[in-house]
Amino acid sequence: MEKADSCRRAAVEAVADVEPPRLYEYIESVLDRASMVPAALTLESAAAMSPEDYVFEDQDGRHCAGESETDRDRTQISEYDSERIVTHAAGVQLIYEGLRLTRSLAHDEPWTVADDDADEGDLAILAADILVARGFYLLARTDAAGKAVRTVQSFGRDQTRRAELEPETASAVGPDGADSAPDSLDANLEHDVLELAVRAGAVAVDETPSPQLLAVATDLADAAGTSFPPVTECLTDLEAKVREQSLEDSTTDRATSATDP
């Protein structure tokens, strides 16, 4: 949980200068309610892809990686590296929250109802733009920036396509009462964001994510659909899956090295 709290604080700090106060408070409330799964996966991916095991320390100096006392013997990464990893994680989270908020507004436009709702919608769309922009700022000049751009571009195409499909699928609902094609397009955001999280975590330690780690992101996104659970509900499972893939990657690398001429 310390990991998620560190990322949440970093995300809030990234928007600390937003004005007027009402807009800042709105953005802060969005981040307070956010599931930190994308940020947590970024941290776990950095841990998995690091050339050496390390102890991640949050901003208060607490050890956040591993579960046993033996982790004290791991190589401790520098304060700069820890800050860089948290910054990448906060950037991923900000982009996701901004796009998620945009998606919500696109599905249920507040400007077609009462004036009070329209005012709230104006605030929300400004907040969404700021969240995405600040997320891009935190990931700028990193090897994850390209994936961040593609995530936003893909989101825009999906939402345009969804708007075109809705009239066609209005009467074609599945057994669960949901029209599957628009829902599938919506869920692309979660897939893209978790892939971005893996890539952002890997590049924070100057590595390229393994196919196995990217597969973890895909599995998590498939299970989540269009809404991530609270990070406390899945963090232990997330850590276990990432570590399992990390061990598998290490075993594969050793086997490959042993058979190399």
Domain ranges of the chain: 2-167+178-251
Q: What is the pLDDT of residues 136-162, one digit of tens each?
A: 999 999 999 999 999 999 999 999 998
For residue 261, what pLDDT is reported? 52
For residue 174, what pLDDT is reported? 42
Cβ–Cβ < 8 Å for 231, 44: no
Name the CATH topology of 2-167+178-251. Farnesyl Diphosphate Synthase (1.10.600)
The sign of the torsion formed by the CA atoms of 206, 79, 195, 159 equals negative
Q: What is the CA radius of gyration of the chain?
A: 20
For residue 71, what pLDDT is reported? 42
- What distance in Å separates the CA atoms of residue 55 and residue 71, rounded to the nearest whole number? 7
Cβ–Cβ < 8 Å for 17, 100: no
Cβ–Cβ < 8 Å for 89, 197: yes
What does the mean pLDDT of the chain come to? 81
Token duo for residue 93: 């989270």
Q: Residue 214's Cα: distance from chain center in Å?
A: 13
Residues in the chain: 261
Name the stretches of the chain with pLDDT < 50: 53, 63, 65-76, 170-179, 254-259
